[in-house]
Amino acid sequence: MRGIDTALKKLRHDVFMEVAKVAYESEPENINNDIEAIPYKITPDDKPKYRESIYRERAIASERVRLAMGMSLRPEDKPVHITSGLDRSNIADKYYEPPLMQVIPSACEACEDNVYVVTDQCRGCVAHPCESVCPKGAISIVNGKSVIDRNKCIKCGKCKSVCPYDAIAHKIRPCAQACGIKAIKSDAFGRAKIDDSICVGCGQCMVACPFGAIADKSQIFQLIHAIRKRDYVVAAVAPAIVGQFGPDVGLAQIKGALIELGFREMHEVAIGADVGAAVEASHYANEVATGKLPFLLTSCCPAWAMLAKKQFPTMIDEVSNALTPMVATARSIKQKNPEARVVFIGPCAAKKLEAGRTSVRSDVDFVITFEELAAMFDAREIDFSNYEGDEFEAEATGAGRGYACAGGVAAAIESCINEYYPDVQVKIEHADGLEECKKMLMLAKAGKKNGCLIEGMGCPGGCVAGAGTCISVAKATDSVKKLVAGTEKRIPEKELSEIELP
């Protein structure tokens, strides 16, 4: 569904936009009423747009509003107002109640998972190969049609593979299929449930759910409060931002629009990627190429790094200790202006977790996605054509900007190694999507990737496929590649590897 303007995409956008409007426009004495009114703005008449019942639709919209304001879902067994706990969210500081990713129970359709079903495509053929290949005798013929006994079925899929009419369907819960690390479980009612001990916050389950039953928490409400307070709010934008708001909307127009929203400055996160590429090139040359480390895992993707640390804890030393592009950029901004409130704007849901971690200080005050920023633009009726004459001076190299696409991180580091250390031979491996990432880590643990620089990206396709993007992966990839191709400086200076950011 990525890149398709579905009703669900519009619904999410409308919720974020209405929350942004309240944050920008409401006075303190009216804010409770304005928030309580949002579900009625989403569905303004007596006919439901998305569900069978207007009451269920508004109940779900109420939960979406809470999540969009950084609050947790309401309990199912107690009467609680949408605005309950608002005082803790109605602030100008970073805030959301963990967990980050949540399933809205009233929105979940309890999809069947890993079940084989005979559809009406069954022709009742004479051969009945499905019956013949079933190892457990789970298939019988009733009135000439095949029937599967679920109590006997072991879900091997042999029946489906031999049916000449493709009459046997394999039902898989979309969110579970999208999760490469099997963090989606079921609750007592058969609804999806996220195992937070496994989840790394990539948000691919959220993207895959056609009912919009999974959502992450947002900080747009708190961010807009900081802007209204006249805090010195600075945008740090990920390179995947190009093309997100239209094919002709470049960095200059985005900067102009951000200033219109109340941001004071805009900087490229790719400058932090340049630092990371230089540092990891040095690490590879001095640690892996010399045999001190068996291999090096890139650190820029928080979902990949979290997967490695959660499920492969013995490999922590092999995860690069280079600051991620987001953190390196935030620190450089605060080094120049300690009073700055740094906002990372990117495609990634997992960055919200990274910004709040305590093991490495992030210096990031807020994280919002492109999807959330698009809603802020619409809430303020931003017209990008007003900034067509603006210019933006490139801050980063093509290498740093290329981090947004799968393979781009490894390519940037490899280019730096070839330039800085011409005598070092580098071996590159990369994986994108958590399932492939896990396979790669298993191979590395088994000693089959020694000597390699291993890039991992939690989303299939890289950052351009993050859960918070507005356009298709293909369009986003093309936009980034054009940006990289048009960047004059190819790779960062070697001296960047020696920069110390406090």
Q: Mind listing the pLDDT tens digit for each residue in 378-413? A: 999 999 999 987 778 889 999 999 999 999 999 999
Residues 502, 491: Cα–Cα separation, whole Å? 24
The CB density around residue 448, as the number of other CB atoms within 10 Å, is 12
pLDDT at 158: 97
> Can you count the helices (H) and strands (E) in the chain?
20, 15
pLDDT at 421 over 90: yes
488 within domain boundaries = no
- The residue-averaged pLDDT of 212-227 equals 97
Q: Pick from 130, 137, 131: which is nearest to 164 by CA?
A: 130
pLDDT at 260 over 90: yes
- The residue-averaged pLDDT of 239-261 equals 96
51 within domain boundaries = yes
Residues 276, 316: Cα–Cα separation, whole Å? 18
Domain co-membership, 127 together with 70: no
The CB density around residue 418, as the number of other CB atoms within 10 Å, is 14
| Reported confidence tier of residue 294, pLDDT bands at 50, 70, 90 | very high
Where among 171, 196, 214 does a domain terminate? 171
- The residue-averaged pLDDT of 123-129 equals 95
DSSP letters along 305-347, please? HHHHHHH-GGGGGGB--SPPHHHHHHHHHHHH-TT-EEEEEES
Domain co-membership, 21 together with 152: no
146 within domain boundaries = yes
Residue 142 class from Cβ within 10 Å (0-12 exposed, 13-18 middle, 19+ buried)?
exposed
Tally of CA atoms within 13 A in the half-sphere of 169 that contains its CB? 11
| Reported confidence tier of residue 1, pLDDT bands at 50, 70, 90 | low
**3-state SS, residue 324:** coil
- The residue-averaged pLDDT of 328-350 equals 97
Average pLDDT value over all residues in the chain: 94
Residue 173 class from Cβ within 10 Å (0-12 exposed, 13-18 middle, 19+ buried)?
buried
pLDDT at 209 over 90: yes
- Percentage of the chain exceeding pLDDT 70: 100
287 within domain boundaries = no
Domain co-membership, 57 together with 159: no
pLDDT at 5: 87
Residues 258, 238: Cα–Cα separation, whole Å? 14
336 within domain boundaries = no
Give ∠ CA 219-222-224 in degrees, rounded to 5: 105
pLDDT at 499: 76
Q: Which residue blocks in 50-199 are alpha helix, DSSP H?
A: 54-68, 86-89, 129-133, 158-162, 174-178
pLDDT at 12: 96
pLDDT at 502 over 70: no
pLDDT at 4: 84
Residues 179, 8: Cα–Cα separation, whole Å? 20
Asked if 261 contacts 282 with a C-beta cutoff of 8 angstroms, the reply is: no
pTM of the model: 0.94
429 within domain boundaries = no
pLDDT at 416 over 70: yes
CA–CA distance from 179 to each of 155, 157, 169, 195, 217 (Å)? 19, 21, 20, 11, 19
CATH number of the domain to which 140 belongs? 3.30.70.20
215 against 78, higher pLDDT = 215
Domain co-membership, 145 together with 213: no
**3-state SS, residue 17:** helix
Tally of CA atoms within 13 A in the half-sphere of 133 that contains its CB? 13
Strand (E) positions, 284-336? 296-297
pLDDT at 358 over 80: no
Domain co-membership, 86 together with 210: yes
102 within domain boundaries = yes
Location of structure tokens 């290329």: 402
Domain co-membership, 73 together with 22: yes
Residues 471, 402: Cα–Cα separation, whole Å? 18
Domain co-membership, 66 together with 122: no
pLDDT at 367 over 90: yes
Residues 214, 206: Cα–Cα separation, whole Å? 5
Q: Which residues contact 46 (CB under 8 A, 6 or more apart)?
A: 54
Location of structure tokens 């996160």: 269
Buried b (16+ CB within 10 A) or exposed e, 83-118: bebbeebbebebbbbeebbbbbbbbbeebebeebeb
pLDDT at 356 over 90: no
Residue-number span of the structural domain to which 142 is assigned: 115-171
- The residue-averaged pLDDT of 61-74 equals 95
| Reported confidence tier of residue 88, pLDDT bands at 50, 70, 90 | confident
**3-state SS, residue 489:** coil
Q: How many domains does the chain have?
A: 2
Domain co-membership, 97 together with 122: no
pLDDT at 241: 98
- The residue-averaged pLDDT of 27-44 equals 95
| Reported confidence tier of residue 147, pLDDT bands at 50, 70, 90 | very high
476 within domain boundaries = no
Domain co-membership, 51 together with 140: no
The CB density around residue 457, as the number of other CB atoms within 10 Å, is 32
pLDDT at 27 over 70: yes
Domain co-membership, 76 together with 187: yes
Domain co-membership, 54 together with 188: yes
Domain co-membership, 14 together with 100: yes
Please, which residues bridge with residue 266 across strands? 235
pLDDT at 251 over 80: yes
